[in-house]
Amino acid sequence: MRKIVLILLFLPLFNFGQIRSKEIIRLLEECETIKKNENYRDLIAVANKGISLSKNDTYLLARFNFYKAYGFEYDNNQYAKAIPFFEASWKYAKTHQNLKEETLAIMRLSYLYYSTKQFQKREDLIKYIKQILDTTRNVYTQGILNGSLGEYYLDKSEIEPFIGYKLKAIEYRKKFPKDDASNIVNIGISYSQIGQAYIKMKQFDKGIEYSNYAKPYMTESPNSLAFLYNDFIKCYTGKQNLDSITKYYKSIYKLVSKEDSLHISVSSANRYMAEYFIAKKNISKASFFALKALRFAEKSNDDEILMEARVTQGKLLFKQKQFEKAIEILKLAATHAYEFDKNSFIIINQLLSESYSQIGDWEQAFKYQNIYTKANEAMLNESAKQTIANAEAKFQNRNKQEKINLLSAENKVKNLEIENTRKTQIYLGFGFLLLLTIAGLLYRQNRSRKKTNQKLETLNSELDLANKSKVRFLNILNHDLRGPIANLIGFLHLQENHPELLDQESEKRLKQKTTEGAENLLSSMEDLLLWSKSQMENYKPQPKEVNVNSLFSDTAKHFFNIDNIAITYHNPQNIELYTDENYLKTILRNLTGNAIKALEKTENPSIEWKAYTANYKTYLSITDNGPGGNNNQFKALYDDTQVTGIKTGLGLHLIRDLAKAIDCEITLETQENKGTTFILCFNSI
C-alpha cells in the first residue's frame, strides 16, 4: 500500500517532466526555423524562453545560448551583446562534451573577438582550435574549424596558410549532408574568401573566377550575396570596368530589406565607388559616395568598416586640400587599424605625414613619416619572405627535374629498340589526331554556321516586326493626319466655290471646327516629330546631375497660359537626379499636357507634381482629379507592339520610349471618376 502511495505522489512530477520535454523540443525546432528565415529578433525572444526552461541541462543551455548569441550577432551586428552568450554556449558544450555545439560556438567567437578588437582572446582561442584539430577525426569539426583557421590567417594577411586551411575546409564541407542549407552557403563563402585572396594580390580575373564559383552557393542568403557582390565590385574596379561596377552596386541595394539593412555591405559598396572616382579625379562624385559610405558605416556598429570608410574620407579631404579635417578623421581611423588591415595602417600614416607637412607642422609630419616607413618596410620584408619561399620551391622543382632528365638519358640507351616501335605508334597517333582535328574543325564550322543562321533568323524576325510596326504607323498617319487635312481642304473648297450655301452661323461653326482640327493636327505633328527623333539610332541620352526644381520651373513656364487649372509643384527634399535633362523635360511636358486635356470638363481642376525618395529610389509623380479611366486606355504606355492613333496614343508612345531610354520605370494608378496618377521611378546612384 505504501508503494502505491509513493507512485501516486510522484506521478504529477513525471507528467510535468514530459510536458516540459515536449515544450523544449518544440522551442529547439522553432529556433532552427526562425534562424533559417533570418528573423533574428524573434530568435532572441524564443531562445530566452528556452534558457529559462532548460534549468541545469547543459546540452539545452549550450543550444539556446548559441541561438540567442546568433540572433544578436546578425541583428545589425550587436557583437558586444552576442559574445557573452557564445562564451556561455562554449562552456556548457564543453561540460556536456558535445563537440558539435562547441565547434559552432568557437567558430563564431573567433570572428567576433577579431571584430571587437579582443586580439589576445582570439590568439588563445586559435591555439585551442589547433589542439582540437590535432585530436579529432570528426568531419564536421574539421570542416568548420579549418575554415576558422583560414580566416584567422587571412585577417593577418598571411595568404599561403589561409589558402591551405580554406581548401582543406572546403573538402571536408563537401562531405556534409546535402540537405544542410547553411553548409551550402558556407562553401560559397569559402570560395569567395579564396577569391578575396586573389583580389589582394591584384589577380582580378582569378578573383572573378572564384567569386563565380561561390555565387550558386549563396543565392538563399542575401547577406552573403551582398558581400560577394562587393568582391565583384573590387575586381571590376581593378579592371576599370564602370558598367560592371555599377551593375553590382545596384544589385546590393536590391538585396536590402526591412529585416536586414545590410549596412556593412552598402557602406563597402559606396566606399569602392568613392575610391574609383577618386582615382578618376572626379571629386564631386567621389564625395557623394564617400559620405554615403561613412553614414552607413556608422550605422553598421562594425569598427573595421568604419575605419575603412574614414580612410576613404581622409583621402578625399586630402585631395580637396582640407588638411586639418583630413588629419582629424585619419586619426580616428588609425585606432586599431594595424590589427584590422596593415595596408590601411600604412596609407593612414602616409596621409597624416603629408597632411601635417602641408600645414607646416614638421614635428608631427616627421613622426608619422617614421611610423609609415617602419610599417611599410615590415610589409615589404613579409612580401620578400614570400618571394624567397616561392623561389626556393621553384629551385627544388628544377633540381628534381634535372634528376629526372638524367635518368631519362640512361633509359634512352637501354631502350633504343623500343624507340622504333614507338615512332611508328607516334606516326599513327599523329594521323589519328589529324583526322580528329579535321573532324573537330568541320564540327566547329557547322556549329558556327548554325549560330549564324540563328542570328539571321532572329534579325529577320526583328526586321519583320519593325516593318509591321511601320505599316501600322503609316496607317496612323493615314488616319490621324490625313483626316484633319482633308476636312480643312473641304471647308476651303466649299467656301471658295459655294459660299452661298453657308449662312453666318454655319460658317462660324465650320471655321471653329477647322481651327480646332488644325490645332490638334499641329500638336499631333509635334508629338510625331519628337517620337520619331527618339527612334533615331544615334540619338542617345546625355546624363548629368539635374535639379528637380529646374524641371518643375521649366514645366511651369511651358504652361504659364493655363490659368483655369491649379498646377502645384512639391520638392521638399531638394532632390537631384543623374539623367538626361531634355528627355525628362519632354516626359514631364507630355504628362502635364495629357493631364490638362483630361481636365477639360472637370470642376475645380487641379494637377500636383511631387518629388520624393523611398527605399533607395527617387520618384516623380503627377496626379490630376480628372475623370480617370481604366488600364486598357493606357495600353500604349506598356506595350511596345501597341500602335494607336496619334491623338490617343502617340503621346504615350513618346513617354514610353523616352522613359525606357533613360532607365525610368513608369507606373499608373487610375480609377474612373477619381483621377489619374503617373509615377516615374529612378534608381538612386
Burial class for 555, CB neighbours closer than 10 Å (0-12, 13-18, 19+) = buried
* Any domain includes 8: no
Residue 1 clears pLDDT 80, i.e. is over it: no
What tens digit of pLDDT does each residue of 531-542 get? Answer: 565 555 445 778
Dihedral angle at the C-alpha atoms of 265, 270, 272, 275, nearest 10 degrees? -150
Dihedral angle at the C-alpha atoms of 156, 159, 160, 163, nearest 10 degrees? 110
Cell numbers at 367, concatenated: 613622426
Average pLDDT over residues 52-71: 93
Coil, strand or helix at 647:
helix
Which pLDDT value is given to residue 111?
92
Which pLDDT value is given to residue 84?
95
Residue 521 clears pLDDT 70, i.e. is over it: no
* Any domain includes 552: yes
Residue 366 clears pLDDT 70, i.e. is over it: yes
* Any domain includes 296: no
Which pLDDT value is given to residue 398?
43
* Any domain includes 306: no
Q: Residue 658: how many CB atoms within 10 A of its CB?
A: 23
* Any domain includes 379: no
Average pLDDT over residues 116-142: 92
Residue 347 clears pLDDT 70, i.e. is over it: yes
Q: Residue 7: how many CB atoms within 10 A of its CB?
A: 10
CATH number of the domain that residue 679 is part of:
3.30.565.10
Residue 8 clears pLDDT 50, i.e. is over it: no
Which pLDDT value is given to residue 402?
46
What tens digit of pLDDT does each residue of 382-392 get? Answer: 655 554 444 44
Residue 471 clears pLDDT 70, i.e. is over it: no
* Any domain includes 239: no
- Domain interval for residue 590: 544-683
What tens digit of pLDDT does each residue of 630-668 get? Answer: 877 777 777 665 554 444 445 677 788 888 888 999 999
What tens digit of pLDDT does each residue of 217-247 get? Answer: 888 888 889 999 999 999 999 999 999 999 9
Strand 606-614 versus strand 566-570 pairing type: parallel
What tens digit of pLDDT does each residue of 570-608 get? Answer: 999 999 999 988 889 888 988 998 899 889 888 899 999
* Proportion of the chain above pLDDT 90, given as a percent: 32
Residue 466 clears pLDDT 80, i.e. is over it: no
Which pLDDT value is given to residue 73?
92
Strand 544-547 versus strand 665-671 pairing type: unpaired
* Any domain includes 147: no
Which pLDDT value is given to residue 395?
40
**Mean pLDDT lowest for which of 35-39, 327-331, 341-345, 625-629?**
341-345
Instruction: Tell me how far the alpha carbon of residue 160 is from its chain's centroid.
Output: 30
Which pLDDT value is given to residue 277?
93
Which pLDDT value is given to residue 536?
52
Strand 617-624 versus strand 576-579 pairing type: unpaired
Average pLDDT over residues 302-311: 89
Which pLDDT value is given to residue 231?
93
Which pLDDT value is given to residue 421?
63
**What is the band of 113 on the pLDDT scale with cuts at 50, 70, 90?**
very high
* Any domain includes 674: yes
What tens digit of pLDDT does each residue of 189-213 get? Answer: 889 989 988 888 889 998 999 999 8
Considering only residues 671 and 381, tell me which one the structure prediction assigns the higher pLDDT: 671
CA distance 116 to 241: 35
Number of structural domains found in the chain: 1
Angstrom distances, CA of residue 165 to CA of 21, 150, 156, 602, 671: 40, 5, 14, 74, 63
Which pLDDT value is given to residue 394?
42
What tens digit of pLDDT does each residue of 153-190 get? Answer: 888 878 889 888 998 999 899 888 888 887 888 888 88
Residue 208's identity, in one-letter code, is I
